[in-house]
């Protein structure tokens, strides 16, 4: 009993507080279910939140595997999937180097989509313009970038020129072939000078190439 004294000096006794029974909220637990659908009695029970996480994780793995398998099958059947090395387009006109039978600036591993003759003419004009705009890139410290940029653009121009020449009228075939050979001869010299990091030669070859690039733009316009 606890005793208190009021203002008049009278001692009062407070009644004792009874001990109430404690109630504990039971925690919900769920048993782990094996992949066969039976309960695993020998495993420790896990909280429901943990079990839900496991279930969501397994569901995401199954969904990812399904999407991946479907993606592969769709890629194989959509008509654009290439099974093997990227094919190299054939050349039907005399625009290769007479000594090597190819061109040194050609870059491997580039897929050449069939965009038609008009598309090739448009791309020839656009890439000639892009190489004309490369003048600011020709510096002693950027010759490696000059070579990479040149190889990328000139590879497309090589195959596009062959397609345009093949579709041209008989009277236009030889002039276009001569134009392509003059351009590609300059490209080979320019690419070699950039590869050797010879700035003076690179600058000189680039300057002599620009009139031919302008001629290509005029011819494809």
The domain segmentation of the chain, as residue ranges, is 30-81, 116-220
Fold for the domain defined by 116-220: 1.20.120
- Find the helix or strand (DSSP H, E) in which 12 lies: strand 11-14
Tens of pLDDT, residues 157-209: 999 999 999 999 999 999 999 999 999 999 999 999 999 999 999 999 999 99
Q: Does residue 218 come out as left (phi exceeding 0), alpha (psi in the -120 to 50 range) or beta? A: alpha
DSSP secondary structure letter of residue 39 = B
Tens of pLDDT, residues 68-102: 444 444 444 455 666 667 878 899 999 999 999 99
pTM more than 0.75 = no
């Amino acid at each position: 009993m606890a005793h208190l004294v009021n203002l008049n000096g009278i001692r009062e006794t407070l009644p004792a507080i009874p001990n109430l029974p404690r109630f504990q909220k039971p925690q919900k637990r769920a048993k782990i279910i094996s992949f066969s659908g039976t309960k695993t009695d020998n495993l420790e029970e896990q909280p429901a939140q943990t079990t839900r996480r496991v279930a969501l994780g397994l569901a995401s793995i199954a969904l990812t595997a399904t999407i991946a398998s479907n993606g592969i099958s769709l890629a194989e059947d959509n008509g654009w999937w290439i099974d093997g090395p990227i094919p190299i387009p054939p050349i039907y006109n005399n625009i290769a180097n007479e000594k090597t039978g190819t061109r040194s600036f050609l870059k491997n591993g580039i897929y050449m989509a069939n965009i038609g003759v008009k598309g090739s003419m448009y791309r020839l004009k656009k890439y000639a313009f892009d190489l004309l705009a490369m003048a600011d890139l020709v510096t002693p410290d950027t010759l490696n970038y000059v070579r990479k940029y040149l190889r990328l653009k000139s590879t497309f121009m090589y195959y596009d020129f062959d397609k345009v020449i093949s579709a041209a009228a008989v009277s236009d075939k030889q002039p276009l072939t001569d134009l392509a050979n003059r351009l590609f001869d300059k490209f080979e010299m320019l690419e070699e000078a950039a590869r050797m990091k010879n700035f003076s030669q690179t600058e000189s070859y680039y300057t002599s190439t620009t009139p031919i690039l302008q001629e290509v733009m005029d011819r494809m316009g």
